[in-house]
Amino acid sequence: MDGKVALEEHFSTQLNNGYWNAKGEEDRNGKAYAQDVERRLLDPDLCVAEMDRAGIDVCIMSLTSPGVQSVIDAGQAVELARESNEHAQSFMETYPDRFRAFAAAPLQDVKAACDEVNRTVGQGRFVGVLVNGYTNSGADEDVFYLDEAPLDDFWSECERLGAPVYLHPREPLPSQQRSIRGYPELGGSAWAFFYETSTHAVRLMLSGVFDRFPKLQVVLGHLGEGLPYMLPRMQHRLDEQREGTKGSKAKRRPSYYFANNFHVTTSGHFHTKPFLEAIDQIGADRMMFSVDYPYEQMDMGGRWFDDMRLEEALKLQIGRENANKLFKLGLAPLSRAAAAGFGS
């Protein structure tokens, strides 16, 4: 299918690379893989070439994980967010028809984060905010999750601007890695990302944040980080053991928020049965195609999606129209013939 939109696609900057702590990288990733990823993170031209080959029209780009979230000093976090957003602005100007971006937000300083969201999302090409998991407020385990800090001003600004928030994985804190100790290869995207991020999303559902900001929309990658499969069991057990929402900070059941405040992308999880299960749980109007470039190959993700035996209208919806609508991209409607590569 031509004309796809992908939205968990990443870039980096030299300043961000300077912050990135490479400790453990060699354990987890092969050296050739890491070098190839770094090369592609820094060069938007390479991204455009892959988009062309994979039939991807527009990518919504974001600073690679952990990005601003891992910076301990609030002033430096503000500086990195601004530098990253300015870098994104520059490659969006070079390729105005191909790129949009999620703003990086320095949540270490909530007022500065609101200002940065307002400055970026307020002006058009930035279409939301991407947060890489918990945020450092100090060294080591001195962090906060999105439901813990007084972030209502940030949520309020996102809701006011209609800016969806992409909750992207970050590695679990060292104290929460006992269960995988001895297996460093499980520390990142192969395993730990999903339980870290799904837990973070569940915290948000149970926190009451969606009661205060009912229009807030959160996007999860990797087919929902396991939640489409596990949420029905969690809901069942809460209903059985905890009398549903009794004693909860939230007014409604988690399944309500999942159905009304969450969206799911296919990033890095190109497997048809889990994909169909995710559609079944959250609905096709909340599913969006993505790749997770450059950690995944656009060719591979695009080919999986294009070759899937799925009704063409559904493919067009998930491959393009849902993102076009949620992020107000203003893309022209694409006929099924044009999406199939005929007459476009």
Three-state DSSP class for 308? coil
Dihedral sign from CA coordinates of 158, 164, 166, 172: positive
- Closer CB to Zn ion, residue 228 or residue 294? 294
Extended beta strands in 170-323, E state? 218-220, 262-265, 287-288
Spatial distance between the Cα atoms of 222 and 325, rounded to a whole number of angstroms: 21
Spatial distance between the Cα atoms of 344 and 332, rounded to a whole number of angstroms: 12
Kindly state the DSSP code that residue 187 receives in the 8-state scheme.
S
Q: Does 9 bind Zn ion (CB under 5 A)?
A: no
- Closer CB to Zn ion, residue 171 or residue 292? 292
Tell me the residue nearest to Zn ion as measured from the CB. Answer: 292
Q: Which of residues 148-187 bind Zn ion (CB under 5 A)?
A: none
Give min distance, CB of 62 to Zn ion, in A.
8
Give min distance, CB of 64 to Zn ion, in A.
7
Half-sphere exposure of 40 (CA within 13 A, CB side): 22
- Closer CB to Zn ion, residue 57 or residue 292? 292
- Closer CB to Zn ion, residue 213 or residue 304? 304
Give min distance, CB of 243 to Zn ion, in A.
37
How many CB atoms are located within 10 Å of the residue 39 CB?
11
Q: Which of 5-13, 81-89, 145-153, 204-212 is the region at the interface with Zn ion (rule: CB under 5 A)?
A: 5-13
Q: Which of residues 275-304 bind Zn ion (CB under 5 A)?
A: 292
Sequence-separated (6 or more) residues with CB below 8 Å from residue 136: 69, 70, 71, 72, 108, 142, 143
Give min distance, CB of 131 to Zn ion, in A.
12
Helices 298-307 and 44-54, axial angle in degrees (round to 10): 20
Q: Which of 7-15, 123-131, 154-162, 256-264 is the region at the interface with Zn ion (rule: CB under 5 A)?
A: 7-15
Give min distance, CB of 233 to Zn ion, in A.
26
- Closer CB to Zn ion, residue 2 or residue 8? 8
Phi, psi angles (nearest 5°) of residue 91? -80, -20
Spatial distance between the Cα atoms of 338 and 341, rounded to a whole number of angstroms: 5
Give min distance, CB of 98 to Zn ion, in A.
19
Give min distance, CB of 111 to Zn ion, in A.
28
Q: Is 27 a catalytic residue?
A: no
Spatial distance between the Cα atoms of 224 and 17, rounded to a whole number of angstroms: 28
- Closer CB to Zn ion, residue 8 or residue 57? 8
Catalytic residue, from 43, 109, 239, 292: name it.
Answer: 292
Kindly state the DSSP code that residue 317 receives in the 8-state scheme.
I
DSSP string, 202-237: HHHHHHTHHHHSTT--EEE-HHHHTHHHHHHHHHHH
How many CB atoms are located within 10 Å of the residue 344 CB?
11
Per rule CB under 5 A, count of chain residues that contact Zn ion: 2
- Closer CB to Zn ion, residue 33 or residue 342? 33
Q: Which of 1-9, 38-46, 114-122, 124-132 is the region at the interface with Zn ion (rule: CB under 5 A)?
A: 1-9
The binding site for Zn ion (CB under 5 A) comprises 8, 292
Active site residues: 292
